[in-house]
């Protein structure tokens, strides 16, 4: 996401677009594994520090699943940008 310019201070991008770029360039095996990884990094109850800033339904602690990738938008969180600097 950093290479794609999807930084914390820019507009959100559709999750499907980011997943498609990752599949095309780095991981050509399936979109669900990539999307579930992004969802986990956007959930405040999964990681101590959220690495992805998400907009939309990314699930709940009660076990509700996240919305489909076409309904969610993401960008890097500020702390993830600092980790890569």
Q: Which helix (H) or strand (E) is 64 found in, with range?
A: none
Return the H-helix or E-strand segment holding 36. Answer: helix 31-42
Catalytic residue (one of 12, 35, 49, 71): 71
Q: What is the C-alpha to C-alpha distance for residues 64 and 81, in angstroms, rounded to an integer?
A: 29
Catalytic site residue 71? Answer: yes
Q: Which residues are known catalytic residues?
A: 71
């Amino acid at each position: 996401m950093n290479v794609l310019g999807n930084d914390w201070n820019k507009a959100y991008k559709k999750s499907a677009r980011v997943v498609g770029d990752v599949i095309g360039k780095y991981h050509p095996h399936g979109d669900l594994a990539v999307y579930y990884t992004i969802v986990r990094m956007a959930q405040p109850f999964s990681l101590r520090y959220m690495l992805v800033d998400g907009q939309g339904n990314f699930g709940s602690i009660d076990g509700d699943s996240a919305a489909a990738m076409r309904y969610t938008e993401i960008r890097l969180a500020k702390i993830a940008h600092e980790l890569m600097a």
